[in-house]
Amino acid sequence: MLSVAFSPDGRLLASGSLDNTIRLWDAASGALLRTLEGHTDWVRSVAFSPDGRTLASASRDRTIRLWDATSGESLQTLTGHRDWVNGIAFSPDGRLLASGSADKTIRLWDVASGQLLRVLEGLTATVYSVAFSPDGRLLASGSGDSTIRLWDTTSGALRQTLRGHIATVNSVVFSPDGRMLASASGDNTIRLWDAASGALTRILEGHTAPVISTAFSLDGQLLASASWDCTIRLWNVTSGALIRTLTGHTSNVNSVAFSPDGHLLASGSRDGTVRLWGVR
């Protein structure tokens, strides 16, 4: 599994797979509810809209698809990227969808109409991850040139470039209060940044292979990281201390996501499984 995401109410878990499908699971029982088909290549990212009605999926087939999260009906296919689409994110108000691609661009889409609103250019490598700030004013991107870029979502202007990683930035995510940005890299580290100033505040080390995904708990106190060393690690955000290492996957762990109530952590792995962990 390449990506996992909980619905806003925590009842559904979506996973994107190497078999070109999206699966919807009952988060409480673990039962498979529905398999969504339509992509013709790997599904690299999945995301629920803030109201939980729409599920977006991004694929190596160069498209983004929007699905009805309840019925599984395909609503729209967004085309325009010239290469793999790696990361997607809904804006906090649900009106915009951002997508990052191997074509070195970020695209902003109107969710209701499917219209392309803006193309953010100037990147020199593949875009692997995108994330909106909680107030929707900034968009962060992580790319193969080892940088994190912060963009103004209204004008599309580049606000800031954060440097420090020495390998691909695979994941970017804002803390729930918007004050912090976490980045995960192929250099085996996670970096924590002050979102306002761009200052580096902490480096989290311990993984022995590239870190592919990160997620904050809803209260912002925990950070989960997923790595190709087959583990998930839980960190104390304030102190940077490693709280626990979760083992059990037998291959690369590609994605992690906290449930909205913070009680569960989902992880998706190249071993073909999704695992649910009790955070407490």
- Beta-carbon contacts of 181 under 8 Å, excluding residues fewer than 6 positions away, are 131, 140, 148, 162, 172, 173, 174, 175, 192, 193, 194, 195
Task: Report the distance separating Cα 118 and Cα 116, nearest Å.
Answer: 6
Alpha carbons 121 and 103: distance in angstroms, whole number: 10
Q: Could you tell me how far CA 220 lies from the centroid of its own chain?
A: 16
Average pLDDT, the chain: 97
Q: How many CB atoms lie within 10 A of CB 219?
A: 12
CA distance linking residue 269 with residue 254, whole number of Å: 5
CA distance 78 to 117: 12
Q: What is the spatial distance between Cα 150 and Cα 139, in angstroms, rounded to a whole number?
A: 6
Average pLDDT over residues 41-66: 98
d(Cα 91, Cα 20) in Å, to the nearest integer?
A: 25
The Cα 261–Cα 104 span in angstroms is 35
**Per-residue pLDDT at 120 exceeds 90:** yes
| Number of DSSP helices (H) and strands (E) in the chain, helices first | 0, 27
pLDDT-based confidence at 69, cuts 50/70/90?
very high
What residues contact 167, with CB distance under 8 A and at least 6 apart? 146, 185, 186, 187, 210
For residue 101, the model assigns a pLDDT of 98
Give the tens place of pLDDT for each residue, 11-28. 999 999 999 999 999 999
224-272 confidence digits (pLDDT tens): 999 999 999 999 999 999 999 999 999 999 999 999 999 999 999 999 9
DSSP annotation of 70 reads T
Per-residue pLDDT of 133-161, as tens digits, reads 999 999 999 999 999 999 999 999 999 99
Report the pLDDT value the prediction gives residue 280, as an integer from 0 to 100.
Answer: 81
Q: What is the pLDDT of residue 138?
A: 98
Q: What is the CA radius of gyration of the chain?
A: 17
Report the side by side order of strands in the sheet with 264-269. Answer: 253-258, 264-269, 274-278
Give the mean model confidence (pLDDT) for residues 209-214: 98
Distance CA(159)–CA(138), nearest Å, equals: 9
